[in-house]
Structure 1
Amino acid sequence: MGNQLDRITHLNYSELPTGDPSGLEKDELRVGVAYFFSDEEEEVEDRSPSDGGFSQDLSPAEEGPFPVSEVEFSAFCSQECIFSKLRENEDLNVFAAETLLTMCKPGDLLELVAAAQPPHWLIYERDERVIHLHKGQIRRDSLLEVSGGRHGRIVNNRYRYRPLPPDLVLQNAAGHVGLRSEEICWTNSESFAAWCRFGKREFKAGGEAHSAEQQYFLKVHLSGGGVHLSGGGVHTLVFRSLEDMIRERRRVDASGILKELVHGGKP
């Protein structure tokens, strides 16, 4: 379903320079398409709470921070770094939902993680409430209820885009509460929450302004401890849209496997 990857290329790609993208979109592309959702989010939410990839048994009473074994990524649009999830540059520890609430401010971007699941992204509103995409619907819920035993963290700086002011982030999120899949154009919780915070049309399905020169490079850091492959190093995949790149990265987060490496590029 949805957009399939047009091309996945294996490269010996040199280290790309980093930089901050320009920030706000001046001309927001209006996308009014019905989009058939995958069952990605349904599968996540219907599972019982897992151990979240933790290296030890955790009691709900424990506050954290807790270490998590995860795949590490960096991503670029052309030669500009737009996404970074590297333990050497970021605190990737997570916290129990009760502790996370004491750290949140309105407009914050949150990520809940668990083993063998793609992460679930949310916008923190206030008074323990979050707004998020869940099973094809934009909902307002209690973070404690949504967490379902998963632990989380604030990921405001994961994307390198310039954030909108908090009041605009909340306006973006609250203005879509109650809408369902036939009325919205995001395919997963991360794309919706990131769009609320950054306002970039690239997070929308079909919202990409394609050009012949524009490509996205996802660098998967195989030595990060989460990918089930021997050896180390960095493997780079190429995508034509941010949406395609996000979907592949979330699939790797859930499976811990790079199918392109295991099967020689065959799905």
Structure 2
Amino acid sequence: MGNQLDRITHLNYSELPTGDPSGLEKDELRVGVAYFFSDEEEEVDDRTPSDCGFTKDHSPAEEGPFSVSEVEYSAFCSQECIFSKLRENEDLNVYSAKTLLTMCKPGDLLELVATAQAPHWVIYQRDDQVIHLHKGEIRRDSLLEISNGRHGRIVNNRYRFRPLPPDLVMQNASGHLGLRSEEICWTNSESFAAWCRFGKREFKGGGEAHSAEQQYFLKVHLSGSGVHTLVFRSLEDMIRERRRVDASGILKELSLVTGDKD
């Protein structure tokens, strides 16, 4: 834990709002002070399906659906639910990349998952092609090639925001192809893909205008240990923490959080 604590940093908030290119804006919780570990964009690594935590033996050619062990969440902006990943409310099963391709339409938001990894999010274009943020670059790749053992699902409704029309989603995604590192204002694949679909500036690093009243609450539903609630002042910071928990499988810093349990 000591080495982990050395890497903890306080949330860094930007006070400078940015414009929204699309032109579209739009329980009792016990609150603690939240921290996160710095996390670079995850790599879509090379795993076999058996390494990815799925509950039955299968080959990549099998259709599914399959189940994978995951942390469940709900998230709120003030009192409004803006994000939900709860097995009791939705189908969290996943499919092989080959099967997923038969289910997708242009502009769909896809999530590739595996146990103890941050999920990788992409925008489906067509003909097996997806656009995503990977290794500091906005690029177009084959879904079959980048899946590498991960299974996936369509997550158009994971965020509760109003989506843009599919043609504008694709315009957002394709219009940023080729951008690298310092040109990119998204910190991970999820923030970029979600921005493409919803057009909300809150998904951009430093893109949110903060107010004293606005807070984001992340409720982490941990099996056997209740629900833990963390508070953030920006959507970007909340996403980073949630993805860190996905990658580790646990809340490493619970001892630093005051009043963390509902």
- Which residue pairs with 1:119 in the alignment? 119
* One-letter amino acid of the structure 2 residue matched with residue 141 of structure 1: D
Q: 2:241 aligns with which of 228, 248, 255?
A: 248
> For structure 1, which segment, 142-151 or 156-165, has the greater mean C-alpha deviation from structure 2 after superposition?
142-151
The structure whose residues are more often strand, as a share, is: 2
Q: Percent identity?
A: 80
Structure 2: 5+ residue stretches without partners: 1-6, 14-21, 27-37
TM-score scaled by length of structure 1: 0.81
Aligned-pair Cα RMSD in Å? 2.3
1:129 matched to 2:129: yes
Q: Residues 109-128 of structure 1, C-alpha deviation per residue, up to 9 Å, x if partnerless?
A: 00000122100000000111
Distance of 1:27 and 1:97 partners within structure 2: 33
Alignment of structure 1 residues 119-158 onto 2, 5 Å: 119-158=119-158
Shift of 1:57: 2.3
Q: 1:257 aligns with which of 239, 250, 255?
A: 250
Asked whether the equivalents of residues 106 and 126 of structure 1 are also in contact (C-alpha less than 8 Å), the reply is yes
Structure 1: 5+ residue stretches without partners: 8-23, 29-36, 224-230
Aligned residues: 232
Shift of 1:25: 5.2
Secondary structure at the counterpart of residue 133 of structure 1 = strand
* One-letter amino acid of the structure 1 residue matched with residue 44 of structure 2: E
Distance of 2:226 and 2:177 partners within structure 1: 42
Q: Residues 226-257 of structure 1, C-alpha deviation per residue, up to 9 Å, x if partnerless?
A: xxxxx332110000110110000001111111
* One-letter amino acid of the structure 2 residue matched with residue 105 of structure 1: K
Asked whether the equivalents of residues 48 and 149 of structure 2 are also in contact (C-alpha less than 8 Å), the reply is yes
Alignment of structure 1 residues 1-267 onto 2, 5 Å: 4-5=10-11, 26=24, 38-41=39-42, 44-49=43-48, 51-223=51-223, 231-261=224-254, 263-265=255-257
* One-letter amino acid of the structure 2 residue matched with residue 234 of structure 1: V
Asked whether the equivalents of residues 82 and 161 of structure 2 are also in contact (C-alpha less than 8 Å), the reply is yes
TM-score scaled by length of structure 2: 0.83
Q: Residues 41-83 of structure 1, C-alpha deviation per residue, up to 9 Å, x if partnerless?
A: 2xx3345446322122221221100011110000000000000
Distance change >3 Å, CA 69–CA 27, structure 1 → 2: closer
Distance of 1:116 and 1:88 partners within structure 2: 21
Asked whether the equivalents of residues 73 and 85 of structure 2 are also in contact (C-alpha less than 8 Å), the reply is yes
Asked whether the equivalents of residues 116 and 247 of structure 2 are also in contact (C-alpha less than 8 Å), the reply is yes
Distance of 2:253 and 2:39 partners within structure 1: 21
* One-letter amino acid of the structure 2 residue matched with residue 265 of structure 1: V
Distance of 2:24 and 2:120 partners within structure 1: 28
Asked whether the equivalents of residues 134 and 189 of structure 2 are also in contact (C-alpha less than 8 Å), the reply is yes
Distance change >3 Å, CA 235–CA 206, structure 1 → 2: same
* One-letter amino acid of the structure 2 residue matched with residue 5 of structure 1: L
